[in-house]
Amino acid sequence: MENKLKELKTRLAEVSDLGAAGAVLGWDQATYMPPGGASARGRQMATLGSIAQAKFTDAAIGHLLDELEPWAAQQPADSDDAALIRKTRKDYDKQVKVSADWVSRANLHIAETYQAWTEARPANDFKSVQDALKVTLDLSREYADFFPGYEHIADPLIDGPDPGMKAASIRSVFSELRNELVPLVQAITSQKEADDSSLRKSYPEKKQLDFGIEVAKDYGYDFNRGRQDMTHHPFCTTFSITDVRITTRVQRKYLADALFSTLHEAGHAMYEQGVNMAYEATPLAGGVSSGVHESQSRTWENIVGRSRGFWEHYYPKLKAAFPTQLKGVGLDKFYRAINKVERSLIRTDADEVTYNLHVMLRFDLELQLLEGSLEIKDLPEAWHARYKSDLGIQAPSDVDGVLQDVHWYGGLIGGAFQGYTLGNIMSALFYDAALKAHPSIPGEISKGEFDTLHTWLRENIYQYGSKYEPDDLIQRVTGGPLRIAPYIKYLRTKYGELYKL
């Protein structure tokens, strides 16, 4: 069995190496690649992708799994090897069930739709992509049907980014959350708007970046095993457990962009850097789901990075870096500015409180489309109606409406959005558990010390990589299922104080 396990690991390492090479090519494409390199790069990434796919779905891997499973069943439930075989089996079955014909049709269609969207968006022309989106919806349903026996048609689509999670339970959690958030947003936005003009002065780019890097280092993002480069849309990417990189962008006239983007991506990166080294080059390396991943980026960006305690330590440093710009701006005013809540149209610009309303309405629209209770042609109106009911505003056009996000035009419909809000909910849930174990954490944060929190997260979450599915992980870490109470308490406390509710 040892030899078979070794052979399986060798094959999986090959697939992992191809994936990592693809990630390096993608990183270069988004950071340094000269414009002329684009078309060859697309071909090269596609080649790596299809070789990796072919190697992973090789029947030899299926046979090895068949032979290893009876042995794995006798290992302790907690065994890494058993987890590896379980996770590999799930991924393998998923990939072999999907027909090669579907994969090639979907890849081609998505590439075309993405191209069409890049033209439709500036032209405010939803009609021009409507038919393509219908095909995307059909392809999404077809994908789900490769996995008969699902409870909800969205479940197989959600299972990719958030393994094991189901539309029904997410819907119920989201509905509970919306019932809390809508009145909270109403209460806040009926107050005087926070003044964030201090963030919109002229801040030299290099100093902004240096400040963000200093904080990321203090957090514990290891630059010996990572680095930060510039890009248009910030992301985190993993080449190995010992090489996890982040990217950012910087606006001279908006201090909050680069800084919080760096803290956000550093959160993702610390998760990836914290995985057990024994999982290197296996399917257990890497964060387990988009939700758990987002819980870590949001913990370090928001729960820590936008907290009053954090700024008690860092605001004097920030003022020292930007003495002219922040002259006369006290800590309270600055803290209010970086936590300004407003009803807005653009998800990616939204604050901590309203953000989830943007996400949950997209999730609901996805489910309705997949269920057939909403047609693509009616999507723009349904979008506007939900913004009206949930956020109390309406976009003047589809540019800031249904054409806003790339997700449905550069991928399938279903599973694209729930991770963002699941992440916010989980961030407070995990943080609450960390505080129960170490009540000293908030005090440490206000001294710029993050070791206790980082170590707790690494020991309880990061090290496991993809070993435990999200629901299982949540149960292990918090002793209960996914629940919104800690998140609601976090928002109520923080914004209750800020807005004297």
Active-site positions read 265
CB of 53 to a second copy, least distance (A): 13
In the bound state with a second copy, the residue whose beta carbon lies nearer, of 21 and 399, is 21
The whole-angstrom distance between residue 25's C-alpha and the CA centroid of its chain comes to 21
32 scored as a contact of a second copy (CB under 8 A): yes
Residues with Cβ within 8 Å of residue 420, at least 6 apart in sequence: 290, 294, 355, 356, 359
Q: Which two tokens stand for residue 390?
A: 């949930």
In the bound state with a second copy, the residue whose beta carbon lies nearer, of 132 and 246, is 246
Contact 206, 228 (CB under 8 A): no
In the bound state with a second copy, the residue whose beta carbon lies nearer, of 49 and 442, is 49
Among 214, 218, 280, 400, binds a second copy (CB under 8 A): 280
Q: Which two tokens stand for residue 161?
A: 């980014």
Which DSSP symbol is given to 58? -
**E strands in 196-333:** 228-230, 236-240, 243-248
CB of 21 to a second copy, least distance (A): 5
Among 21, 96, 182, 406, binds a second copy (CB under 8 A): 21
CB of 44 to a second copy, least distance (A): 4
Among 2, 3, 39, 323, binds a second copy (CB under 8 A): 39
CB of 45 to a second copy, least distance (A): 8
CB of 38 to a second copy, least distance (A): 8
**Residues 223-242 as x/- pattern, contact with a second copy by CB under 8 A:** xxxxx-x---------xxxx
206 scored as a contact of a second copy (CB under 8 A): no
CB of 68 to a second copy, least distance (A): 22
Residues with Cβ within 8 Å of residue 441, at least 6 apart in sequence: 434, 435, 452, 453, 456
DSSP 297-340: HHIIIIIITTSHHHHHHHHHHHHHHSTTTTTT--HHHHHHHHT-
**Residues 44-83 as x/- pattern, contact with a second copy by CB under 8 A:** x--xx--x--------------------------------
**End-to-end C-alpha distance for the chain, whole angstroms:** 63
269 scored as a contact of a second copy (CB under 8 A): no
Among 9, 11, 14, 164, binds a second copy (CB under 8 A): 14
CA–CA distances in Å: residue 268 to residues 233, 259, 409: 15, 15, 25
How long, in residues, is the chain? 501
243 scored as a contact of a second copy (CB under 8 A): yes
| Sign of CA pseudo-dihedral 226, 230, 232, 234 | positive
In the bound state with a second copy, the residue whose beta carbon lies nearer, of 145 and 229, is 229
CB of 285 to a second copy, least distance (A): 10
| Residues 144-163 within binding reach of a second copy (CB under 8 A) | none
Contact 304, 453 (CB under 8 A): yes
Count of chain residues binding a second copy (CB under 8 A) = 39
Tell me which stretch binds a second copy (CB under 8 A): 39-47, 94-102, 158-166, 442-450: 39-47
* Residue 103 buriedness (CB in 10 A; 0-12 / 13-18 / 19+): middle
The whole-angstrom distance between residue 272's C-alpha and the CA centroid of its chain comes to 13
Tell me which stretch binds a second copy (CB under 8 A): 17-25, 117-125, 296-304, 461-469: 17-25
Judged by the rule CB under 8 A, the positions of this chain that interact with a second copy are: 13-14, 17-18, 20-22, 24-25, 28, 32-37, 39-41, 43-44, 47-48, 51, 222-227, 229, 239-243, 245, 280-281
